[in-house]
A and B are shown apart, each in its own frame.
Chain A
């Protein structure tokens, strides 16, 4: 996510929505959690919990399970940077997605950001609770605020991916800010 979908034209020096969301990083970086919240639908999807949780440089998380599927959402960092989420656009169950495809968008009053699929596969479920309660992205971004559940085309490719970051590496990438 966070390739901003707002078009900025030449004379529009006025507002810089992308930049606006960034400056929170220093304030919030210390208290941030990247863990899937226990008790959430995501955590309890399979009894043994997620096999691994990885992150993208664009602030999505991916919780992978033993049945070669995973849940996607946006990180707490991204959620705090966006502010009050007012609307979430979800993909459709049955959609086929490639890595980098848009699978939805998250909007605040100020801006809209697209969410990109970190994996190739098929959307097997979407979090319809976000339609009536978009603020779940603020209150529990890595848990009840999940966006899509994707059945992987190739689970070993997901495991071997160099694009996906470990918790440690993702955290370090936030520090660089």
Chain B
């Protein structure tokens, strides 16, 4: 198996897309893998997975997330479209603030998770997952047909996540703007000194640490070159605090932070209520006939908790780690759920996992997880495992 899969990698490598930072990943000894159609670094030379993970929890890590898809949605009907395809209430979102939300199908299932930012009365910016690219674009286009006055423009560029307790200290070296005043969930267009283009800086992230996501325009060769040079500058000039971090640690960090990975915790058969994301539906959107996709099912589940039986929750264990797909049983042997992500926790020791489990199973109750044919002990636990350290007002 090892060899077969390896050959597959090399035969498809030539057709994979490259981000504007690709050249730097190679220089840095990135171990490149195919990921959502892109060739992306999973780990870098001279850093183990655990070292990368711990570095982000103690210093600052740079993640190339340029493979994610960015969207501009503008026009009189832009808000109406977004409030049809997601349960967000954009009247509650001031300009230059952002919120997590979910693209929903008619059955209330999750097509993708997304971050929506308001830039103006009729102007929004959204980021969606790389793996759902084609599906999301088709979905938004078909939904947009119901509205006459809007434009939807998906675009690519350099997206760089700067994550860790020293993220502000690092970026502050490149701007006169006081970054301590930019709080979690807020965004701003800034000049970052060596870059000519204006950079969209969002205080957000996917690790549970404080941090930023930079959208650096890269639509011309000159812009791409500047974003690449900026990435190199961060690494070369501040090696004591900055390292590049790959997909491997990105996954273990978000898992500890209790965050969903689409395709694992979320899919088109799961509602945001089951996914423990009820907070994504603000009170103002919980009246009947609210008009977002799947609202009848979702609002019914909020009102009557007997209408769904499983919910997303944490699991901890010792010994072999639970992994995606492992079955979960109660102590009396009844099957009550399944693991969606799991791994040893570099921060906490032991194993941490996310799972869908019968909601009658309370936090703290003992469960059995079937791993490689044997039942192993586990405990239902609350999420997140590692508390988030966002920079809040």
Contact = CB atoms under 8 A, between A and B. Distances in A.
B248 A9 contact: no
A27 B29 contact: yes
Interface stretch (A10-18, A36-44, A120-128, A141-149): A10-18
A26 B346 CA distance: 27
Nearest to A4: B1
Contact of B6 (A14, A25, A58): A25
Contact of A14 (B2, B261, B268, B319): B261
Interface stretch (B30-38, B72-80, B202-210, B218-226): B30-38
Interface residues of A, number: 45
B361 to A, nearest CB: 22
Interface stretch (A64-72, A102-110, A155-163): A102-110
A83 B43 contact: yes
Contacts of B34: 16, 19
B64 interface: no
Interface string B242-273: 00000110011000000001111001100000
Interface stretch (A46-54, A84-92, A93-101): A84-92
Interface residues of B, number: 44
B45 interface: yes
B344 A86 contact: yes
A18 B1 contact: yes
Interface in B334-375: 343-344, 346, 372
Contact of A89 (B9, B247, B264, B320): B320
A172 interface: no
Given A14-B36, A105-B372, 8 more contacts: A4-B1, A6-B325, A7-B324, A11-B267, A19-B6, A20-B33, A21-B2, A83-B48
List 10 tightest A-B contacts by C-beta distance, closest first: A7-B325, A2-B2, A14-B263, A86-B344, A22-B6, A3-B1, A23-B31, A13-B131, A20-B42, A12-B263
